[in-house]
């Protein structure tokens, strides 16, 4: 057994030093490297602690070192737990933020789709009777009609096709094939499914062209993508 006075003098500092570079009185190395370095102002205390360890019988020095290493292991485990908890909290915050962004994007997409459906429904209900009858129509007037009939998100694609097919000339005729009007329908009589005034009213042709793009491709933008790849639709 160790003498009571001597054991009580082995402080926590002694444990740490013992685990680092403790040396016995006969020069035997009994320490374990742990990365701890004694500061200058602790030199006397370190020397005293080392001497105390050297005074401990060789059979008891391993127990002192084991206790010191156990303390270090416990401290490292506590630090690791704290780090893991911090990482878990950070991951939870990031996941919550990602979820919020995804929900916002989904809500915006749903709102956009609902608006487009409402616009499409409104456009589908319009007919040539909704526009004043004129003897002729300018390109600007025809485009204005189209803007009122085509969903806003699809208008640029719709316009792309009309630009390439007829340059917004509702009387355009292909000399070789006979294709006619804004959308170069072939035969031209296809327009009659949208109204009997298809030859004189651009709105009737617009209604037919929009229905054609929606039924065949799903939307004017999908029709435009096909036209861009094939130069026909």
Chosen domain end from 69, 84, 118: 69
The length of the chain is 233
User: Do 133 and 222 fall into the same domain?
Assistant: yes
Phi and psi for 28 in degrees, rounded to 5? -80, 140
User: Do 196 and 130 fall into the same domain?
Assistant: yes
Residue 111 lies in a domain: no
For 6, residues 6+ apart whose C-beta sits below 8 A from its C-beta are: 52, 55, 56
Q: Rounded to whole angstroms, how far apart are CA atoms 161 and 229?
A: 12
User: Do 132 and 225 fall into the same domain?
Assistant: yes
Residue 34 lies in a domain: yes
Residue 67: closest CA among 15, 114, 109: 15
**The tokens of 229 are what?**
């790849």
3-state secondary structure of 180: strand
User: What residue has token string 């701890």?
Assistant: 36
Q: Containing domain of residue 151, as a range? A: 126-230
The whole-chain average pLDDT of the chain stands at: 78
Q: Rounded to whole angstroms, how far apart are CA atoms 161 and 167?
A: 9
Residue 195 lies in a domain: yes
Residue 149 lies in a domain: yes
User: Do 133 and 202 fall into the same domain?
Assistant: yes
The pLDDT assigned to 14 comes to 46
Chosen domain end from 25, 48, 69: 69
Phi and psi for 2 in degrees, rounded to 5? -85, 150
Could you report the per-residue pLDDT of 35-82, keeping only the tens digit for each?
Answer: 444 444 555 544 444 445 566 676 676 777 777 888 888 888 888 888
User: Do 50 and 137 fall into the same domain?
Assistant: no
User: Do 131 and 225 fall into the same domain?
Assistant: yes
Residue 18 lies in a domain: yes
The pLDDT assigned to 13 comes to 45
**CATH number of the domain bearing residue 134:** 1.10.530
The pLDDT assigned to 68 comes to 80
pTM of the model: 0.52
Phi-psi region of 23 (alpha: psi -120 to 50; beta: other; left: phi over 0): beta
Residue 36 lies in a domain: yes
User: Do 139 and 214 fall into the same domain?
Assistant: yes
User: Do 134 and 49 fall into the same domain?
Assistant: no
**The tokens of 104 are what?**
């916002």
Question: Is the Cα torsion angle 33, 34, 37, 38 positive or negative in sign?
Answer: negative
> Which stretches in the chain have pLDDT values below 50?
1-40, 45-51
Q: What is the CA radius of gyration of the chain?
A: 44
Determine whether 49 is exposed, middle or buried from the number of CB atoms within 10 Å of its CB (0-12, 13-18, 19+).
buried
Residue 156 lies in a domain: yes
Q: What is the DSSP string of 113-156?
A: HHHHHHHHHHHHH--GGGS---S---HHHHHHHHHHHS-GGGHH
Chosen domain end from 32, 51, 69: 69
3-state secondary structure of 81: helix
Q: Rounded to whole angstroms, how far apart are CA atoms 196 and 180?
A: 15
Residue 26 lies in a domain: yes
User: What residue has token string 């082995």?
Assistant: 10
The pLDDT assigned to 81 comes to 84
Question: What CA–CA distances, in Å, run from 68 to 14, 32, 33?
Answer: 9, 10, 12
Question: Per the structure, how many domains does the chain have?
Answer: 2
């Amino acid at each position: 057994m160790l003498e009571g006075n001597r054991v009580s003098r082995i402080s926590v500092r002694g444990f740490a030093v013992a685990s680092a570079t403790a040396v016995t009185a006969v020069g035997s190395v009994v320490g374990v490297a742990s990365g701890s370095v004694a500061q200058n102002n602790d030199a006397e205390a370190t020397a005293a602690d080392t001497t105390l360890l050297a005074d401990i019988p060789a059979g008891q020095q391993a127990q002192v070192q084991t206790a010191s290493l156990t303390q270090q292991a416990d401290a490292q485990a506590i630090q690791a737990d704290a780090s893991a908890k911090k990482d878990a909290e950070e991951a939870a915050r990031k996941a919550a933020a990602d979820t919020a962004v995804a929900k916002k994007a989904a809500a915006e997409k749903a709102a956009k789709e609902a608006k487009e459906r409402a616009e499409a429904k409104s456009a589908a209900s319009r007919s040539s009777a909704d526009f004043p009858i004129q003897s002729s129509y300018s390109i600007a007037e025809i485009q204005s009609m189209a803007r009122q009939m085509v969903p806003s998100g699809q208008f640029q694609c719709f316009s792309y096709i009309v630009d390439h097919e007829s340059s917004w000339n509702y009387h355009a005729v292909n000399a070789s094939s006979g294709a006619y009007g804004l959308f170069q329908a072939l035969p031209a009589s296809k327009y009659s499914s949208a109204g009997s005034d298809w030859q004189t009213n651009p709105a009737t042709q617009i209604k037919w062209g929009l229905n054609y793009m929606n039924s065949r491709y799903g939307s004017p933008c999908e029709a435009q993508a096909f036209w861009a790849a094939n130069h026909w639709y």
